Structure 1
Amino acid sequence: MKIIPVIDLLGGQVVHAVKGQRALYQPLKSTLCSGCEPVAVANALLRHTRSETLYIADLDALTENKPQTQLIHTLRTELPGVELWLDSGYPPSVKACPGLRPVIGSESLDSDTWKRLQSSPVKSWILSLDFFNGAPKGYAGVQAQAEGWPDHVIVMSLDNVGSFNGPDWLQLENMLTRKPPHCSIIAAGGVRHHADISRLSQMGISAVLAASALHAGIELAAL
């Protein structure tokens, strides 16, 4: 079980994501660092978790189709040796390359784009199955076509993000039963404390995306 820290980028700064209500996100306040400058926040999270992976949500790209290309380039330059998982919508604003892997969320997909992804000979991207209030966002057919999933699949419960209400246990159990053998499932949204980490690990979850609990000073240890 790995802890993968998350930064949400909006207008060039890191914001605090809460329950998927993106229009209400405010600049980050953290116990780990001062300010909301992306490189400083990223370094603080990576030091705290000892992670070699950082998840980035480019909210400008996701909400306004205005990818923060220069900022992503800066993060790649300033974080050598760290693999960046970048969610910037579909098509990704940056192609897969050493040190960077696109995350493609179901909220950005329809049946045609999913078919195009399936025709790719190499699945170097990461799939995020996005849910809000228990319902799938975007193309729901992705869930029924698990044979086309890549090696890493995130179960993203957006309304649980930053809520401290705990992970969406039922949704995670459901996706674990559907996944093909080659897939690992990654939990995202609602993790509160180490007991959640232990339970997720026992379920067979390979990693968890975390931000709010880390910034609140809660210790989350990899297992």
Structure 2
Amino acid sequence: MLDLRGGGVVHARRGERGRYRPLRSTLCEGSGPMEVVRGLLGLHHFGTVYVADLDAIEGTGDNRAVVTTLAANFSELRFWVDAGFREAAAVRQFLERSPGDAVLGSESLAGIGELEALRDGGAWPRVVLSLDFRDGFLGPPDLPARADLWPERVIAMTLARVGSGDGPDFWRLAEIGRTHPHTRLFAAGGVRDQGDLLDLAARGVAGALVATALHDGRIGPGDLPVRGG
């Protein structure tokens, strides 16, 4: 998981974006995106890297060139990119020029009509939905009940737990899993160690977005599956 700001990787903590600082990691010397990805691949043969373009999400610019460079230099990786997509047209434009997949963060989404516009098109298999939560749901209020508009892959993103070490939001994951049992659900926020990864897998969660526990060494090579994403 990479959080990009101003061309570099920052350490996300509890969704308090104004307080994010350049990443310090045991896996690499600096916070340059190329260094960080090399460090991650030195730890494990990951198949997918999630990228949050914070400048695009906040409407202050973008890290499009960084994402393009990463995709060109790490062609073996699949990139899931959240670039603050508000509308279906922006998603289509991104997918036309990028080999990766587009993550639609509910906090950025203009409305459920954007998902309706994408659902029946060729871009749909490359769309990932992030259901974003803080104290409550962030996004179009009718979206959580409209599973017919969810793509196959859905992230449950609890922002207050990102970089916190508080553990995954098991209650929320269970609720989504109970009401939408056929969704490929990915956990984001709070993963601490191998125990959490095993617990998530036992609960049927398809995968997890992890950053802090990799960079500070709490999750090491022996704690990860043979093939990760």
Match of 2:196 in 1: 196
Match of 1:108 in 2: 108
Q: Report the Cα offset of residue 222 of structure 1.
A: 2.3
TM-score by length of 1: 0.91
Instruction: Map 1:23-102; keep pairs closer than 5 Å.
Output: 23-64=18-59, 66-90=61-85, 91-92=90-91, 94-95=94-95, 99-102=99-102
Instruction: Map 1:1-223; keep pairs closer than 5 Å.
Output: 6-64=1-59, 66-90=61-85, 91-92=90-91, 94-95=94-95, 99-109=99-109, 110-120=111-121, 122-123=123-124, 124-133=126-135, 135-179=136-180, 181=182, 183-219=183-219, 220-222=223-225
Provide the rounded CA distance (Å) in 1 between the counterparts of 2:143 and 2:30. Answer: 38
Provide the rounded CA distance (Å) in 2 between the counterparts of 1:198 and 1:96. Answer: 37
Give CA-to-partner distance per residue, 1:71-112, whole Å, 9 cap, x none: 111111111111010000113462167740010011112233
Q: Report the Cα offset of residue 43 of structure 1.
A: 1.6
**Corresponding residue SS for 1:107:** coil
Using CA pairs below 8 Å that are at least 6 residues apart, which structure has the higher relative contact order?
Answer: 1
Give CA-to-partner distance per residue, 1:17-45, whole Å, 9 cap, x none: 00001111000000111110001101211
How many residues align? The count is: 216
Q: Report the Cα offset of residue 117 of structure 1.
A: 3.1
Which amino acid in structure 1 is aligned with residue 156 of structure 2?
V
Provide the rounded CA distance (Å) in 2 between the counterparts of 1:214 and 1:87. Answer: 21
Provide the rounded CA distance (Å) in 2 between the counterparts of 1:184 and 1:94. Answer: 23
Provide the rounded CA distance (Å) in 2 between the counterparts of 1:177 and 1:97. Answer: 37
**Corresponding residue SS for 1:94:** helix
Provide the rounded CA distance (Å) in 1 between the counterparts of 2:153 and 2:112. Answer: 20
Preserved contact between residue 146 and residue 178 of structure 1 (Cα < 8 Å): no
Q: Report the Cα offset of residue 163 of structure 1.
A: 0.3
Provide the rounded CA distance (Å) in 2 between the counterparts of 1:85 and 1:218. Answer: 24
TM-score by length of 2: 0.88
Where in structure 2 are there 5+ consecutive unaligned residues? none
Q: Report the Cα offset of residue 212 of structure 1.
A: 0.4
Provide the rounded CA distance (Å) in 1 between the counterparts of 2:97 and 2:203. Answer: 32
Q: CA RMSD in A?
A: 1.7
Residue range with higher mean Cα deviation, 158-167 or 115-124: 115-124
**Corresponding residue SS for 2:25:** coil
Provide the rounded CA distance (Å) in 2 between the counterparts of 1:97 and 1:169. Answer: 36
Give CA-to-partner distance per residue, 1:159-208, whole Å, 9 cap, x none: 00000000011100011112252x21000000001111111011000100
Q: Report the Cα offset of residue 46 of structure 1.
A: 2.5
Q: Report the Cα offset of residue 151 of structure 1.
A: 1.2
